[in-house]
Chain A
Amino acid sequence: DAGVIQSPRHEVTEMGQEVTLRCKPISGHNSLFWYRQTMMRGLELLIYFNNNVPIDDSGMPEDRFSAKMPNASFSTLKIQPSEPRDSAVYFCASSLSQNEKLFFGSGTQLSVL
């Protein structure tokens, strides 16, 4: 299996621009998670889906952040408008079900100038 696939690997944008991060979970996995990693706050869960349905979005920092999972093989995390404090590594992860081993993608390094 190819693992969790994220794109792009790096994104540099200017403040105010819209940013869209993409994720393809491992085939057959029913749970998908978006995490953000910063030096100050470590790894934080933003939102997770089970069977394509958002279950908990309490970690989404502001209304500028939104996530969708239109089907079992694709999810997006959108930031609009972006701000410099959004700069971080964003990870997508998936698991077979809600209480199984979690597998991470390679992450997207986002820099907002």
Chain B
Amino acid sequence: DTAVSQTPKYLVTQMGNDKSIKCEQNLGHDTMYWYKQDSKKFLKIMFSYNNKELIINETVPNRFSPKSPDKAHLNLHINSLELGDSAVYFCASSQGGWGQKYNEQFFGPGTRLTVL
């Protein structure tokens, strides 16, 4: 059983297009995250949602819009894609609410986005 799943696994698209990446977790967790891993393997958090409420919004262009229809899903929509958006995007989830005792984050397999 997949704990944190992402679709699609690979996404190749042209500059200027709009695309979405979906994330689902079946762990019953309250908090979900999006991370970006660039070509140099550097990982940086983009967003965090707790029970459908936005908690973290790092310095990310507003072309990126996360959407959480329920606490098991956190989708990432990207408008007007640019070359620099090419990266691997990881979804993660953790139990419990923000500010509570440590909760391990479980990562999805990643979505490799290539913008041509």
Partners in one complex: no
A residues engaging B (CB < 8 A)?
A: none
